[in-house]
Structures are given as C-alpha cells and as structure tokens.
C-alpha cells in the first residue's frame, strides 16, 4: 500500500504541469469516472483489491486509448491524464475500503469485550 502511495506521489510530481491544461483535466476526470464503477463492482463481487485495481485501470486505459484512436491525432498526454485519473480514484477507493475494514474490526473487538 505504501508503495502505491509513493508511486502516485511521484507520478503527480512528474506530471504536475500536465493537469494545468483544461483538456487534460477533463481526461483525468474521465479516467476516474470510468474506472471507479468498474473498480467498485469488481471489488464487491470478488473482495479482491488487486483484481479491482487491474480491472479499473484496464477499463480506463481501453476507453482512453479508444478515444485517442478516434481523434485525428493520438495524444499520449491525454492518455496519461486518463490513466492518472484511474489510478487516483482506485487509490482513494482502496484507502476507503481499508479504513472501513479497520473500523469494522475495531467495532467487532469492542463488541466482543462487552460480552
């Protein structure tokens, strides 16, 4: 988990200027919007975070690549912004899931102590 967060921080530092363009911001949001439901559904069905990460990433990558192939000119920076949006939403969902798991485990321990 720490490695994923470090990767995201490094990626944002490298591409900080990328998201200053409005077009790239839209691609970032599109990546998050396409990957989040896929991530969520995969996790709900499998309870496997690795599969959820992979499916969320692949879905955004496919949609981003398809969109770029349809455009007159393939822009790698647009695809990069889409993938960054996907990775960011997956990271946020993973953190939320982990925090909820910790919270649930603590509540279970407290319930056992009350008995």
Which pLDDT belongs to residue 101?
84
Which pLDDT belongs to residue 69?
92
Instruction: Give the chain as a DSSP string.
Output: -HHHHHHHHHHHHHTTTGGGSHHHHHHHHHHHHHHHHHHHHHHHHH--HHHHHHHHHHHHHHHHHHHHHHSSS--HHHHHHHHHHHHHHHHHHHHHHHHHHHHHHHHHHHHHHH-
Which residues of the chain fall below pLDDT 70? 1-19, 111-115
Question: Could you read off the pLDDT of 49-59 as tens digits, one per residue?
Answer: 999 999 999 99
Which pLDDT belongs to residue 53?
93
Which pLDDT belongs to residue 107?
79
């Amino acid at each position: 988990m720490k490695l994923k967060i470090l990767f995201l921080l490094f990626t944002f530092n490298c591409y900080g200027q990328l998201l200053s363009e409005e077009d790239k911001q839209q691609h970032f949001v599109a990546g998050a919007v396409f990957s989040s439901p896929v991530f969520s559904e995969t996790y709900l069905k499998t309870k496997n975070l690795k599969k959820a990460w992979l499916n969320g990433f692949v879905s955004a990558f496919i949609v981003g690549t398809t969109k770029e192939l349809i455009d007159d000119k393939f822009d790698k920076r647009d695809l990069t912004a889409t993938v960054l949006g996907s990775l960011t939403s997956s990271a946020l969902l993973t953190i939320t899931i982990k925090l909820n798991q910790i919270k649930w485990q603590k509540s279970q321990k407290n319930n056992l102590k009350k008995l």
